Amino acid sequence: MKYLYTSLTFLFFFVNIYAQENIITVKVNEPQDTISKHIYGHFAEHLGRGIYDGFYVGKDSKIPNTNGIRTDVVEALRELQIPVLRWPGGCFAEQYQWRDGIGPVDERPLVVNTFWGGVTEDNSFGTHEFLQLCEMLDTEPYIAVNIASGTVKDASQWIEYVTSDKDSEVTRLRKQNGREKPWDVKFWGIGNENWGCGGSMDANYYTNVFKRYSTYCNAEYKIASGGEWDDLDWTRTFMTKIKEVPNFIDIAHGMSYHYYTIANDWTVKGSATDFVEEEWFRSMDQTMKMEDNLKDHIAIMDEHDPDNKIALIADEWGTWYDVEEGTNPGFLYQQNTLRDALVAALGLNIFNNNARRIKMANIAQTVNVLQAMILTKEEQMVKTPTFYLFKMYKEHQDAVQLPSDFQGKTYKTEQGEIPTLSVSASKNGKGEIHVSIANVHPRADLKTTLDLQGLNKLNTVSASIISADKMNSFNDFGKEEQVKIASFDAFKKKKGKLEIEIPAKSVIQFKVQ
Ligand code: AHR
């Protein structure tokens, strides 16, 4: 009898596990932090064809524009509700002299962009043009000041030029240049990658420099440079030393974090379009690993700043491949496939799920550079798979994060094993729940149950999907789009849950009302 009972218990347990083999749980009644809309931010550097050709073609171009800013690109990007745009770099920020980029365009000095391609920078896109672009996009600007080859005075006067309503030499200059009222610019970066291209500083030295600049930079929200992605000592040193400043929160509001997804290694990064499954796996695996790395940095920040006052700002992230054949190696131009949309989904799921400390993220970079939303070729424009992913995910902006979890099959290869699904969920002010699910397996569809725990009734449910025939499907100039958002209906309600057939290599978003 005892034997029979044990066997039945085992059988029941086994059947139960099998029946629930793949299950996503969302805890609707346990709302967490607000997912800052700034997590859906972008980055635009004076690099390759990002600014020039991408955003800016100049007033005399035959390509339709307003004051030189491309109409088609602005119209497309407005679909994404970009909340914040970081500029002018990147590494370029540390060579940028803001005074070169104001005043009559034909009087602006020519300089050489030593970081990116050694090309001539004519400074025709400067502070006024950038802030006009932000107004056109209805986005908040985030400006990084030069602390490696500039001075404290340069940085503080730039901030005064842009934001002050007081009478001074620089605000008179701004008015003389056609802008009477100050702009409202909240976010200012104090340097960029100061461990590397921003002056090869160590954490101790940088923190002292940061304190000096930050004390004289009269800005609302100041963001310090973080260390290299795996440099936990940098984070520890910065957090320890910044706390020595009384009222440290007046000078430091965020610390930056950069993490790029490389499918191979930094010497041979691999092609953006011509790749094999091993490279697909490594892109997914490496992006998923960002979460553990972020958690390590966050644990140090929690230890030193338990009140969560200093935010982690992931202001550069995304895929980085070898440049497209035949293009300038210093321009970082790459195509963008379905793989990139999946990587973007994984990254955004990670940021959504760690929204307590992560208050901003800026994918690199918006147009024609690295993991771009838009690619341009003269007057033509392409919306990339990553564009559509950001369009789909904008629903999470400023919504409240809901805990979610996936238990089930893994995607196993000779190189390792990762969860097949990545999930994040949120509830917005209208009470709508959005659950975003990425299936990283390139060959296997997955039958999955979605259990929205705490929801009495599943009323209206709708869903959309991003997928394509091939791992490397992409959108090309003059051709029909291969990757875009479509509606999705391979699911049914069963006993208050959803049973879903999640196609291989896809991202799905459910909206539940
Ligand atoms: O995004 C390209 C470059 O990557 C940035 O200029 C720099 O900050 C990072 O190393």
pLDDT digits (tens, 9 = 90+) for 336-364: 999 999 999 999 999 999 999 999 999 99
Q: How far is the CA of 148 from the centre of ligand 1 (A)?
A: 15
Cα separation, 414 vs 5, in Å, equals 40
Q: What's the pLDDT tens digit per position in 477-488?
A: 999 999 999 999
Told to judge if 193 belongs to the known catalytic residues of this protein, a careful annotator would answer yes
- Residue 267 CA to ligand 1 center (angstroms) comes to 16
Amino acid at 45: E
Ligand 1 contact via 316 beta carbon (within 6 Å): yes
CB 110 within 8 Å of CB 120: yes
Q: Is residue 509 very low, low, confident or very high in pLDDT (cuts 50, 70, 90)?
A: very high
Tokens of 312: 């982690």
315 lines ligand 1 (CB under 6 A): no
Task: Give pLDDT, residue 11.
Answer: 45
Residue 58 clears pLDDT 50, i.e. is over it: yes
Ligand 1 centroid–CA 84 distance in Å is: 18
Q: How confident is the model at residue 6 (pLDDT cuts 50, 70, 90)?
A: very low
Task: Please state, in angstroms and rounded to a whole number, the distance separating the CA atoms of residues 152 and 101.
Answer: 18
Sorting pLDDT into bands at 50, 70 and 90, what band is 232? very high
Within a 10 A sphere around the Cβ of 68, how many other Cβ atoms? 20
- Residue from 30, 316, 379, 395 carrying the catalytic annotation: 316
Answer whether 364 contacts ligand 1 (Cβ < 6 A).
Answer: yes
Q: At what angle do helices 127-137 and 71-78 cross, to 10 degrees?
A: 50
How far apart CA 296 and CA 291 sit, in angstroms, is 9
Q: Whose CA is nearest to atom 7 of ligand 1?
A: 90
Ligand 1 atom nearest 370 alpha carbon: 1
| Residue to probe by mutation, ligand 1, list 49, 94, 197, 259, most atoms within 8 Å of CB | 197
Convert the pLDDT of each residue in 254-280 to its tens digit.
999 999 999 999 999 999 999 999 999
Residue 13: pLDDT over 60: no
Average pLDDT over residues 287-307: 98
User: Could you tell me the pLDDT band of residue 248, with boundaries at 50, 70 and 90?
Assistant: confident
pLDDT value at 18 more than 50 = no
Q: What is the pTM of this model?
A: 0.94
C-beta 45 within 6 A of ligand 1: yes
Is any atom of ligand 1 closer than 6 Å to the C-beta of 217? Answer: no
Cα-to-centroid distance, 122 and ligand 1 (Å): 21
For residues 78 and 134, give the distance between their C-alpha atoms in angstroms, rounded to a whole number: 11
**How far apart are alpha carbons 421 and 458 in whole angstroms?**
22
d(C-alpha 46, C-alpha 23), whole Å = 45
| Average model confidence (pLDDT) across the chain | 95
Q: Is the CB of 89 under 6 A from ligand 1?
A: yes
Facing residues of 400 across strands?
34, 427
369 ligand 1 Cβ < 6 A: no
199 CB-near residues (< 8 Å, 6+ apart): 94, 147, 148, 191, 206
Please name the residue whose Cα sits nearest to atom 4 of ligand 1. 90
- 44 in contact with ligand 1, CB cutoff 6 A: no
| Burial group, residue 326, by CB count within 10 angstroms (0-12, 13-18, 19+) | exposed
CA distance 389 to 400: 20
Please list, in sequence order, all residues whose beta carbon lies within 8 angstroms of the beta carbon of residue 386, skipping any fewer than 6 positions away: 318, 336, 340, 341, 344, 363, 371, 372, 373
Name the catalytic one among 45, 121, 193, 279: 193
Say which residues have a Cβ less than 8 Å from residue 244's Cβ, sequence separation at least 6: none
pLDDT at position 170 is 98
Only one residue has tokens 């400390």, namely: 357
Asked if the model's pLDDT at residue 450 lies above 90, the reply is yes
Judge whether 204 and 241 are in contact, CB under 8 Å.
yes
Mean pLDDT of 419-430: 98
How confident is the model at residue 201, as a pLDDT? Answer: 98
Instruction: Compute the distance from residue 434 Cα to the ligand 1 centre, in Å.
Output: 32
Per-residue model confidence (pLDDT) at position 250: 85
- What pLDDT does 457 receive? 86
362 lines ligand 1 (CB under 6 A): no
Answer whether residue 19 shows pLDDT above 60: no
Distance of CA 259 from the midpoint of ligand 1 (Å): 10
Tell whether ligand 1 has an atom less than 6 A from the beta carbon of residue 193: yes
Reported as a pLDDT band with limits 50, 70 and 90, residue 459 is: confident
Residue nearest to atom 8 of ligand 1 (CA): 90
Mutate to test the pocket of ligand 1, among 42, 45, 92 (most ligand atoms within 8 A of CB): 45
Is residue 107 exposed (0-12), middle (13-18) or buried (19+ Cβ within 10 Å)?
Answer: exposed
Atom number in ligand 1 closest to CA 92: 6
Atom of ligand 1 nearest to the CA of 364: 1
Is 180 catalytic? The answer is no
Calculated CA dihedral for residues 234, 237, 240, 244, nearest 10 degrees: -120
pLDDT for residue 17 is more than 90 = no
| pLDDT tens digits, 99-148 | 999 999 999 999 999 999 999 999 999 999 999 999 999 999 999 999 99
Average pLDDT over residues 16-45: 88
